[in-house]
Amino acid sequence: MKISIFGLGYVGTVSAGCLATDGHLVIGVDPNKTKVELINQGTSPIVEKDIGEMVAAAVKNNQLRATQDVHDAVINSEISLVCVGTPSQLNGNLDLSHVRKVCEQIGAALKEKSDFHVVVARSTMLPGSMRNVVIPALESFSGKKVGIDFGVCNNPEFLREGTAVFDYYNPPKTVIGETDTKAGELLMQLYAKMTAPLIRTGVDTAEMVKYADNTWHAVKVAFANEIGNLCKAEGIDGHKVMEIFCQDTKLNLSPYYMKPGFAFGGSCLPKDVRALMYKGKSLDIDLPLINAILSSNQRQIEKGIKMITEKGNKKVGVLGFSFKAGTDDLRESPLVNVIEYLIGKGYELKLYDKNVNLAALTGANQDYILNHIPHISKLMASSMEEVLSFAETIVIGNGAAEFCNVPNELKSGQVVVDLVRIVPNQSGDRYDGICW
């Protein structure tokens, strides 16, 4: 394919070298005359393993050239990759002036082009940037409409300095956020030989994926350092602890626990986090990440309460209030906190949880239910139907299978607050999910 790449910095140069090596005809574009001259001399403007040799070979084979002429690059390519910088401002926001300017220039060139052209943002930008900056600039300066006259995609990169060429050819995933199918199909051709999962989604999701990835990497570093600081104070080998930690790919390094939803609870997580916080204090070690976990969890409980109270209904039914489906354990269940708050504010409640009902009769938690939270046990209904016939606001508190059809069987005036995403892709005026 014929590809133009805007911005010959780190991402742009690596992309140019790799795409040209793959046999594509690549035109690099940069306002910096020195970078353009270096590329045309077969010299990489960045220092990165293998890329110098790739650029030299690509230029020699006439697969790669560079220019300052935006019009030339757009007219003579099918796809334009935007790889310009998005530096931080003092307040933490991003400076998108380079992105906006390049998109205006590309748009002006598209005005004179009749062929369908795809503009792909590889620059890292916050969610909403494509729709609020990239697309408006392209449409305004081209006089054309996205999805009809030209296509737009967001294609985040996952390159690490020092191993960028390896990462390019061995990505963990390839994400294409597309405004239209035609644009996504054209961009997919660049990655036809990749063996990594290829994921097609919306542009907003693709923008956010990059930030989820990088923030998670930052959290991992901070977490490992805080565990390491605790270990050192206790004379424990922190590297050995984390080495063992990382061998667990069923729970620790896995999708488990990584789904947005309600707060955690139960007999282990809150207790153990508190204990580790106490240990840090007793050793006079500051653990800002670990110390923030319970307060973050409390914010999610408060968010759930706000969602329920904002519905304006006084009759509330709760379906599932053990800390997770398939258990009768109410110890530190965040749903119990929600229920107790609503009772205190004068709401009328009916509660149903099959496992908790059984526990109240014969289970191990019988004493806790009947003696520690008797005010809650008195509100328990014997069936889900009893709750549904009573409630104006229905709260789905855990993922028990029997609750799956509830959002589709609402009576007039009823609304659902879903804390577990009981079924995917649910929506509507009478449905409210806590993180979706």
Catalytic residue IDs: 268
Q: What would the DSSP string read from start to end of 190-242?
A: GGTT--S-EEEE-HHHHHHHHHHHHHHHHHHHHHHHHHHHHHHHTT--HHHHH
Which residues are CB-neighbours of 226 under 8 A, at least 6 positions away?
280, 287, 288, 289, 290
174 DSSP β-pair partners: 198
Q: Which amino acid is at 182?
A: K
Q: Tell me if 72 sits within 8 A of 112, measured CB to CB.
A: no
Determine which helix (DSSP H) or strand (DSSP E) holds 139, and give its type and residue range: helix 135-142
Burial class (CB in 10 A: 0-12, 13-18, 19+), 8: buried
Taking the C-alpha atoms of residue 170 and residue 174, their distance in angstroms, rounded to an integer, is: 10
Helices 97-110 and 135-142: crossing angle, nearest 10°?
30
Q: What is the Cα Rg of the chain in Å?
A: 28
Q: Which residues on adjacent β-strands are paired with residue 29?
A: 6, 67
Q: What is the DSSP string of 76-99?
A: T-SEEEE----PBPTTS-B--HHH
Strands 2-6 and 79-82: parallel
What are the percentages of helix, strand and coil residues in the chain, rounded to 5? 45, 15, 40
CB 415 within 8 A of CB 338: no
Task: For residue 401, give the DSSP letter.
Answer: G
Residue 29: how many CB atoms within 10 A of its CB? 30
